Amino acid sequence: MSDRLNVLKTYKLYVGGKFPRSESGRVYEVTDAKKNWLANAPLSSRKDARDAVVAARKAFGGWAGATAYNRGQILYRVAEMLEGRRDQYVREVAEAEGLSKSKAGDQVDAAIDRWVWYAGWTDKIAQVVGGGNPVAGPFFNLSSPEPTGVVAVLAPQESSFLGLVSVVAPVIATGNTAVVVASEKSPLPALSLGEVLATSDLPGGVVNILSGRTAEIAAPLAAHQDVNAIDLAGADEALAKELEIAAADNLKRVLRPQPVDNWSATPGTDRMTAFLETKTVWHPTGSLGASGSAY
Amino acid sequence: MEKRTPAFEYAPAPESRAVVDIAPSYGLFIDGEFTEAADGKVFKTVSPSTEEVLSEVAEAGEADVDRAVKAARKAFEKWSALPGAERAKYLFRIARIIQERSRELAVLETLDNGKPIRETRDADLPLVAAHFFYYAGWADKLDHAGYGANPRPLGVAGQVIPWNFPLLMLAWKIAPALATGNTVVLKPAETTPLSALFFADICRQAGLPRGVVNIVTGDGRAGAALIAHPDVNKVAFTGSTAVGKEIARTVAGTRKKVTLELGGKGANIVFDDAPIDQAVEGIVNGIFFNQGQVCCAGSRLLVQESIHDELLDSLKRRLSTLRLGDPLDKNTDIGAINSAEQLARITALADRGEAEGAERWSPACELPESGYWFAPTLFTGVTQAHTVARDEIFGPVLSVLTFRTPDEAVAKANNTPYGLSAGIWTEKGSRILAVANKLRAGVIWSNTFNKFDPTSPFGGYKESGFGREGGRHGLEAYLDV
């Protein structure tokens, strides 16, 4: 065997399409299931959270305004990129969650398939949840879903990759942009996801990934006046309540933590609709004369 | 502005009060019975146009709210288990009885709220009946609503509604709740409790099982107790953004599902190619309908600079023809402000507009001596920094701003924490679609304003709240999905 020393990766945040270190200069030790050192992850600060919101807001107009077809292509591209780097994620997930290679492989495969699933939703959700309303009067009236804006996503703590993908993909499939707080204990697969997103034609800022103490990063996000919604998946009961109270200040849309036994199960549309607004546009239909057409 | 002499004077055309029989006092409606408040407290409800005391109404305390929630909980078991087709028939019955009694209810609403009979008769009551009729039809079709097969009701809905459309807001809340199999405890506003109590009688006539609908009258404390009640599964509120935020904090950390329909500062955008006469009608309807006490009112008029003077001349001319006075007179366009408190708020905000340098204008307009009145008012020379352009006034006060380009119009329209409604006036279809697309608001009226329909979802973006009422979307709020 060769004595070659392998090259370790410095894990960095993913913000605005770039890979900065934490503004604070802080890191924390990430270990595997057997407490062996894996890497030092950035310990994000409130300032990192605010920077990420700025990046997400900046990206929102373009992403929300992109065609649904285009968004679908890009989400599918993420799956393509992941497939090519499957082994890397299997290793990271196995280490992060203490799983066998085979079990970790199942998680990664499910996560890749999830991107494909959501890629197919981008240009269908409007037809499923929107449509014309038969109002009793001479009006054309159409309801369409629109993204709510910048969504703060607290990724699930236990499912470091499949859980993460399951909460991030629906948010961006519908045109929102996201500030994601990775699993506190197992942030490495999330930080590596940034590398895939960066090479998947996803505009910078659409997804921003932070690692660190969930409670510390989530507090400024929940209170932030320019965050439109928050997914509390990764918060425990006490933290979730505290954040929900903070979120009331600008009436953020809140998705409370839902018990998930099995992230592999096919998700419904709930995680998409939770971050959609319904816009209803009215217009008079006019009249072509009293008698109408007789064909 | 000198008083214009109309070509034809109108003779008074008062609607008869004889069609409505208001009792001197009312109790709470709990478990199918009218009952006094546990501590015997009562409050008076007055007619805003005359300050006449109409009736004395029980004031619910925490014990009464608890009793009402218990009654609703007990009724939930049977009501939710009823086949949808049977629930539907109850709701159809209610819709029909409302149609039968609509004149009585319109007069009652006008007396208790102060809004003109023209509006209660032609807008409120037809919509109230239509909402029950619409949601009645959903009760046995919930499997087809797009929320999966066999969607389940949530349980007891605690509903708190405002005073601007007392019966219509009741319909918006109760019709979808009952259609989906929930039972309700509803708290009407303190200043307009009567139509909800008359609705209790309609429930009796319809043979609705006891406890399915409970009405607790009282003030904000009763509403707060209802929302905080641990056995309430669903909270629905329409009212101010400040109270909405308080409710969002109250339900934090609970499993209560919540929908909030809050304030607004709607922009009504008029482009230079708009049909001016229609736009003027739309602007008037947008801000002076219901004395401007409408969350989706078009309270900010954004006019393209090149037509500002022409439009303002037309608008002022039109405002000079509005008739303010006795709400029971069928010729009346503008009725009374709902309460002394609301009048004080409108007055203070309008005075602030003047103090901050905006130019105030009202048509020559005599205000009745008793009651709560505020003349239709325009502010011109308003900038985005003015209080009258930022705060929700909830009264007949229109702030006029200008813009040059569509981008500027969009930026100004969106420059508010609210996101409920907006209007667009232009003959250019592509511009309507482009602007509507960029506006951050839940309801956008193009070349019309303030149109409502039970089939059409209504609700806001941003700080105008969350959730939608009306249409298929309105079902979600009451289902476990």
At B314-341, the pLDDT tens digits run 999 999 999 999 999 999 999 999 999 9
Instruction: Write out the H or E segment, with its range, that includes residue B109.
Output: helix B102-113
pLDDT above 90 for A117: yes
ipTM of this complex prediction, to 2 decimal places: 0.95
Active site residue B296: no
Asked if residues B261 and B237 have their Cβ atoms less than 8 Å apart, the reply is yes
Helix (H), strand (E) counts: chain B:
16, 19
> Which residues from B are below 8 Å from A247, CB to CB?
248, 252
| Out of A133, A228, A270, closest to residue B455 by CB | A133
> Which residues from A are below 8 Å from B473, CB to CB?
129, 143, 278
Are A283 and B446 a contacting pair at CB < 8 A? yes
The shares of helix, strand and coil residues in chain A, as percent rounded to the nearest 5, are 45, 20, 40
pLDDT digits (tens, 9 = 90+) for A79-106: 999 999 999 999 999 999 999 999 999 9
pLDDT at B236: 98
Residue A244, min C-alpha distance to chain B (Å): 5
- Three-state DSSP state, B25: strand
Are B442 and A277 a contacting pair at CB < 8 A? yes
CATH class of segment(s) B267-446: alpha beta
**Rounded CA separation B382/B360 (Å):** 10
Cβ neighbours of A37 (radius 10 Å): 9
> For residue B404, with 0-12 CB atoms within 10 Å meaning exposed, 13-18 middle and 19 or more buried, which class applies?
exposed
pLDDT above 90 for B4: no
Backbone phi, psi, residue B340, to 5°: -60, -40
- Three-state DSSP state, A38: strand
pLDDT at A198: 98
pLDDT at A294: 60
In the set B109, B190, B295, B392, the catalytic residue is: B295
pLDDT above 90 for B209: yes
The residue-averaged pLDDT of B95-100 equals 98
pLDDT at B9: 78
pLDDT digits (tens, 9 = 90+) for B115-152: 999 999 999 999 999 999 999 999 999 999 999 999 99
In terms of pTM, does the model score above 0.90? yes
pLDDT above 90 for B89: yes
Are B448 and A148 a contacting pair at CB < 8 A? no
pLDDT above 60 for B400: yes
pLDDT above 80 for B84: yes
Question: Cα B454 to chain center, whole Å?
Answer: 14
Q: Are strands B421-425 and B443-446 parallel, antiparallel or unpaired?
A: parallel
Indicate the domain borders of chain B: 25-262+464-480, 267-446
Q: What is the DSSP letter of B239?
A: S
> Which residues from B are below 8 Å from A253, CB to CB?
466
For the record, the structure tokens of A15 come out as 């913000």
Q: What does the H/E/C string look like for B274-305?
A: CCHHHHHHHHHHHHHHHHHCCCCCCCEEEEEH
pLDDT digits (tens, 9 = 90+) for B251-261: 999 999 999 99
pLDDT above 70 for A206: yes
pLDDT above 60 for A1: no
Cβ neighbours of A29 (radius 10 Å): 11
Q: Would you tell me which CATH number, out of the four given (3.40.50.720, 3.30.450.270, 3.30.2310.20, 3.40.605.10), belongs to the domain B25-262+464-480?
A: 3.40.605.10
